[in-house]
Chains A and B, each alone.
Chain A
Amino acid sequence: MRFIFKTKYSQDINIAKHNGDRFWYSLLILIMAALPLVLDDFYLGEISYICILSIAGIGLMILSGYTGLASLGHAAFLGVGAYTHAFLLTNGIPFYASIPIVIVVSFLVGAAIGIPILRLTGMYLAIATLALGFIAEHVFIKWEHFTGGNRGLPVPQPEFLGMSFYDSVFFYYVCLVFLIAAMFAAINILRSPTGRAFVAIRDSEIAAQSLGVNLGLYKALSFAISGAFTGLAGALLAHYIGYLAPDIFNIFLSLTLLLLIVVGGMGSLHGTVFGAIFVGFLPQLIAICRDYLPSSIGSQPGLEPMLFGIILVFFILYEPLGIYGRWIKIKLFFELFPTYKRQTFKKQKVFTKSDRV
């Protein structure tokens, strides 16, 4: 077991807690950078997709995992990012200028959505975001001038730094760089006063308010920041898909993002990556399942949502902390060996908190 002896306040908010962290994360980045030497185009594409999902997951994690506001319509932000990016590129704006505009636009859309529904908490918020997700999907279909409607919108693949986005190695590096940048941005937001205010709101609104946190401002800010991250992911997703159709950004995608953060582990940035890896390989997993099941069941189209639901229910009931929580437990098991006790992580029995006054 490692004990960190802190002698300065700044140590408490360091990004890397100790040298071991620095070593392992540098090694991870090096391995990721070296992957194109080993893997072929198919796997690079899959990993690029996982990077994009992770960025979107970071967005939703800041909102749901850290601020405690559920959103069932986050695919709308992916859509806003993707359509804005495609629209700008079509009108001749270069890639390096388009991405900041996309981030700003999604930030503003997030704030615009966040402000009117600030007064809602808990499940009312979940219902409102669900409805907004539907309305956004409808807007993508009907606003044909901007989105091309049901015909779809081809995404231009411009040159950037003299390279083309059709090159899967180059696209992989773009996604990886954006993921690392997004991760650093998220870590920094979360260790700043803003991020601490988010966590305070999640843990107790009344306590946060009495310590001087402006609930309305910080909730709107959380929506806006979350929207910005998800919008960035949407812009990259536009390049990945290549052709935008409104029905991509449906409720199922929103729920997939929620599955991502629940499976990865609520309230941890590690969880977004674990969850993205899981969600990214879920279709392959389902394809493998199909092979092993009898063909009468295996060939059914309903198998996918069913497995999706079973996984979700399983994690909520038996591992609410997700894959990251399981990883923490395994790590602690080896650190404390042989004195690990199961009770360390035992769920405490609590009464249902009532929303009624």
Chain B
Amino acid sequence: MQLIQLIIDGVASGCIYGLVALGFVLIYKATETINFAQGDILMLGAFVAYSLIGILGMDYLTGFALTILIIAVFGFFLDAVVVRQIIGQPAFATVMLTIGLGFIFRGFASIYWGTDIFSFSTPFSGKITEFNGLIISYVNLSIIVGTAVLMSALYFFFTFSKIGVAMRASSENQLAAYYMGIPVKFIFSLIWSISAGVAAVAGVLLAPITLVDTSISLIGLKAFAAAVLGGFGSIPGAIVGGIIIGIVEQLCGTYENYLFEGVREISAYLVLILTLIIYPRGLFSDKAEVKKV
């Protein structure tokens, strides 16, 4: 029974990793760049939600929706104004650029909101439900349900909407998509905005657990493990990878005595390194995603 309890907790935190990893994957699939600032965008999302709900006293759902909107617009202009300029330069330049952007966001957040730890009230805080002796907090439930809803929304968006299909086309082959009359640059900025919006959702869902401060941007680094495990180019892979990382982390934390001290904090990175050494393609990747040396 304890094991199932641990797995449920792991799935909840894994969903957050999965959502952040989803942001990496969306951008990587389309533009072959990695956004190292994804975790910092999540942090901005949590802070904006705190401003709207905690300070301005908005209704939780209204504040949630408005946060997603603000961060999505922010993501759109981030690509259109800054990131687009370095297309065509080596991958290293993008890595450095997004790391630099991450530092700017973190610096901005700690100047504007301060370095204290904040919280805002949600309809889920402190409520739990019991089911056959399992204790499930409403917060965890909200994360799992939120992820599921978002995933199905994204699935329908990419399968049935015209813009979604255009996005898939642009990530398959930019030039061919351009010849078909798809505004590739605009589509890429739109993908950045979706990715930022997903990060904002993760940030708001996470806020009741970790509270809001600048250190939650470190989640972005653990989400790398999720994305790599899922095979950096697969949307279901990102979520499954995230859930696996979340469960592994919970189990490592509980059975720390049998392993070695402090294994919990680095378990995600160990999984990442092992995946890269043993099976760098990842679980869900198409064959063609990773270049062989």
Measuring CB to CB, which residues of chain A are less than 8 angstroms from any residue of chain B? 64, 68, 70, 72, 116-124, 126-128, 130-132, 134-135, 138, 141-142, 205, 215-216, 255, 258, 262, 266, 297, 300-313, 316-317, 320, 349-352, 354-357
Closest-CB distance, B272 to chain A (whole angstroms): 5
Q: Are B273's CB and A135's CB within 8 A?
A: yes
Contacts of A311 in B (CB 8 A): 100
Return the contact of B110 from the options A205, A215, A300 (Cβ within 8 A): A300
A-B contact pairs, 25 of them (CB 8 A): A68-B90, A70-B91, A72-B99, A117-B276, A120-B280, A123-B91, A124-B290, A126-B91, A126-B95, A130-B221, A132-B273, A138-B262, A141-B262, A142-B260, A255-B99, A258-B96, A308-B103, A309-B101, A309-B102, A310-B100, A312-B99, A316-B86, A317-B86, A350-B89, A352-B32
- What CA separation (Å) do A301 and B260 show in the bound complex? 35
Q: Are A306's CB and B273's CB within 8 A?
A: no
Contacts of B262 in A (CB 8 A): 138, 141-142
Closest 5 CB pairs of A and B: A306-B107, A309-B103, A302-B110, A312-B100, A309-B104
Return the contact of A306 from the options B85, B86, B111 (Cβ within 8 A): B111
Closest-CB distance, B57 to chain A (whole angstroms): 25
Q: Are A301's CB and B110's CB within 8 A?
A: yes
- What CA separation (Å) do A262 and B94 show in the bound complex? 12
Closest-CB distance, A226 to chain B (whole angstroms): 15
- What CA separation (Å) do A320 and B261 show in the bound complex? 43
> Do A120 and B269 contact each other (CB < 8 Å), given the known contacts A126-B95, A308-B103, A312-B99?
no
**Cβ of B117 < 8 Å from any Cβ of A?**
no
Return the contact of A64 from the options B88, B92, B265, B293 (Cβ within 8 A): B92
Query: For chain B, what secondary structure do more than half of its interface residues adopt (helix, strand, loop), or is it mixed?
Result: helix
Contacts of A304 in B (CB 8 A): 107
CB-based nearest A residue for B95? A126
CB-based nearest B residue for A312? B100
Q: Are A124's CB and B88's CB within 8 A?
A: no
Interface size on B, residues (CB 8 A): 56
Closest-CB distance, A267 to chain B (whole angstroms): 11
Contacts of B90 in A (CB 8 A): 68
- What CA separation (Å) do A352 and B289 show in the bound complex? 16
Q: Are A306's CB and B108's CB within 8 A?
A: yes
Return the contact of B106 from the options A128, A305, A354 (Cβ within 8 A): A305
> Do A262 and B86 contact each other (CB < 8 Å), given the known contacts A117-B276, A131-B272?
no
Contacts of A126 in B (CB 8 A): 34, 91-92, 95
Q: Are A70's CB and B221's CB within 8 A?
A: no
Most buried by A among B101, B103, B290: B103
Contacts of B92 in A (CB 8 A): 64, 68, 70, 126, 266
Q: Are B103's CB and A131's CB within 8 A?
A: no
Q: Are A352's CB and B88's CB within 8 A?
A: yes
CB-based nearest B residue for A355? B291
Q: Are B115's CB and A135's CB within 8 A?
A: no
- What CA separation (Å) do A302 and B115 show in the bound complex? 8
Closest-CB distance, B75 to chain A (whole angstroms): 16
- What CA separation (Å) do A206 and B270 show in the bound complex? 31
> Do A121 and B106 contact each other (CB < 8 Å), given the known contacts A135-B269, A135-B270, A138-B266?
no
Contacts of A350 in B (CB 8 A): 88-89
Contacts of A131 in B (CB 8 A): 221, 224-225, 269, 272-273
Knowing that A302-B115, A352-B88 are A-B contacts, what are 15 other residue pairs whose CB atoms are under 8 Å apart, sorted by A's residue number? A119-B292, A123-B94, A124-B290, A128-B276, A134-B269, A300-B110, A306-B103, A306-B107, A308-B103, A309-B99, A309-B105, A313-B100, A317-B86, A350-B88, A355-B91
Q: Are B288's CB and A313's CB within 8 A?
A: no
Contacts of A142 in B (CB 8 A): 260-262
Q: Are B97's CB and A313's CB within 8 A?
A: yes
- What CA separation (Å) do A141 and B102 show in the bound complex? 26
Contacts of A310 in B (CB 8 A): 100, 104
Q: Are B91's CB and A122's CB within 8 A?
A: yes
Closest-CB distance, A329 to chain B (whole angstroms): 18
Contacts of A121 in B (CB 8 A): 291, 293
- What CA separation (Å) do A11 and B109 show in the bound complex? 55
**Cβ of B198 < 8 Å from any Cβ of A?**
no
**Cβ of B228 < 8 Å from any Cβ of A?**
yes
**Cβ of B135 < 8 Å from any Cβ of A?**
no
Closest-CB distance, B115 to chain A (whole angstroms): 6
Closest-CB distance, A163 to chain B (whole angstroms): 40
- What CA separation (Å) do A352 and B260 show in the bound complex? 44
CB-based nearest A residue for B91? A122
- What CA separation (Å) do A311 and B103 show in the bound complex? 10
Closest-CB distance, B171 to chain A (whole angstroms): 10
- What CA separation (Å) do A300 and B116 show in the bound complex? 12
CB-based nearest A residue for B28? A123
CB-based nearest A residue for B233? A356
Closest-CB distance, A167 to chain B (whole angstroms): 37
> Do A124 and B107 contact each other (CB < 8 Å), given the known contacts A355-B32, A357-B291?
no
Interface readout for B254-293 with A: 1 if CB under 8 Å, 0 if not? 0000001110011001101100110010000000111111
- What CA separation (Å) do A312 and B96 show in the bound complex? 7
Q: Are B104's CB and A313's CB within 8 A?
A: yes
- What CA separation (Å) do A312 and B110 show in the bound complex? 19
Closest-CB distance, A159 to chain B (whole angstroms): 38
Q: Are A320's CB and B100's CB within 8 A?
A: no
> Do A127 and B291 contact each other (CB < 8 Å), given the known contacts A300-B110, A306-B103?
no
Q: Are B108's CB and A302's CB within 8 A?
A: yes
**Cβ of B82 < 8 Å from any Cβ of A?**
yes
- What CA separation (Å) do A302 and B105 show in the bound complex? 10
